[in-house]
Amino acid sequence: MIDYKTEDFEKLLKDYDVVLNSQDNKTLEKSINILKPGGQVISISGPPTPGFAQEMGLPWYLKAILSLISFGIRRKAKKRHVDFNFLFMKANRSQLGEITKLIEADILKPVVDKVYAFEQTNEALEYVTSGRAKGKVVVKLK
């Protein structure tokens, strides 16, 4: 367990195979530094890569823009002999069904921090952006 408020994970960890990044670019760069050669960092928060543009069938000019946007992090990864990939999260009915089965079988255990009524959506968003959430924040529709 690492307390991100008082400790720097980059100074404590090394030689990992895979990092899943969901934070900012500074954290992404630190994540590259804790991987061993041949490791892989997967970011769900960006920056998108030309490979993502290709996969999504985007036009050539967007591929060029994404190439420029992600150039720095891709270059840093290459220098460290690790792979960088951007993963675009999208809803998939069959995958969500499989996740539901895993939750119902008690194999996956989601952590719910707080539940808000729909009318409290603004408060829920404020709580999420405060950085104090210790799990998922849920907004109930009914």
Diameter of the chain measured on Cα atoms: 51
pTM of the model: 0.69
Q: If you search the block for the tokens 């991987």, which residue do you land on? A: 35
48 and 81 both lie in a single domain: yes
Asked if 100 contacts 87 with a C-beta cutoff of 8 angstroms, the reply is no
Q: Are 34 and 9 in contact (CB under 8 A)?
A: yes
- Give how many domains the chain has, as a whole number: 2
Instruction: Give me the domain span that covers residue 61.
Output: 9-86
Tell me whether residue 64 is in a domain.
Answer: yes
Q: Does 4 fall in a domain? A: no
pLDDT digits (tens, 9 = 90+) for 69-125: 999 999 999 999 999 999 988 888 999 999 999 999 999 999 999 999 999 999 999
Any idea what the Cα angle at residue 17 is, between residues 38 and 103, rounded to 5°? 140
No. of helices (H) and no. of strands (E), the chain: 6, 5
Residues 73 and 121 in one domain: no
